[in-house]
Amino acid sequence: MTRYQAGDHAAAQALIERISPNLHRYLDAQAPNRFDADDLLQEVWLRIHRVRHTYQPDKPLLPWVYAIARRVHIDHYRRTIRTSVREQRWDELHEPAASGEPECAQVGHDLQELLSPLSASEREVLELMKVGGMSLEEVARATSCTVGSVKQKVHRAYGKLREAMSMTNPKKAQTGVVP
């Protein structure tokens, strides 16, 4: 691994050939199918390549590699859950009401009205996080901002939304409870 950190491509290839079979078995036991295990193995090596500079030569290599593999698996699991939560089966979708404004259009209108006090960047990060289900890091990458900047925008957006909601419901604002 030390040679790989120094840029030795032969050492990188030898490391991959030596560790991959055991790493694949580990991922295969964790993943629901072999195709996911193959993808996860590839993702592990990509992540190892990106963070190879963080390896400390005086520490054991395998725990470091398996910690990365574990994080890759957890990230994959979370991404899968977020995706499955947002997906709906075609036969479960209901038809909008025939008379008046469709229900989904009304919800969209209400959401846009609620978000109207926000700036465009605050609205964007809030929608990506809460409607899109993205993490702070994903939103930061998608908007080309730092994680700190995204946190600040979300915090300001929450403050503006609390204020707007307390104006629409003064009774709850007096008790300090905001929906």
- Model pTM? 0.48
pLDDT at residue 96 is higher than 80? no
Q: Could you tell me the two tokens for 19?
A: 């560790």
Residue 118: closest CA among 169, 155, 146: 155
pLDDT the model gives residue 3? 92
Q: Of the given ranges (23-37, 62-76, 148-162), which has the lowest mean pLDDT?
A: 23-37
Q: Do domains 2-86 and 107-175 have the same CATH topology?
A: no
Give the domain ranges of the chain.
2-86, 107-175
pLDDT at residue 148 is higher than 60? yes
Compute the residue count for the chain. Answer: 179
Task: Say which amino acid occupies 66.
Answer: Y
Fold of the domain built from segment(s) 2-86: Rna Polymerase Sigma Factor; Chain: A (1.10.1740)
| DSSP 8-class letter at 32 | S
pLDDT the model gives residue 178? 45
pLDDT at residue 82 is higher than 90? no
Q: Could you tell me the two tokens for 120?
A: 């465009």
Confidence of residue 17 (pLDDT cuts 50, 70, 90): very high
Q: Could you tell me the two tokens for 72?
A: 């890759």
CATH of domain 107-175: 1.10.10.10
Confidence of residue 166 (pLDDT cuts 50, 70, 90): confident
pLDDT at residue 101 is higher than 70? no
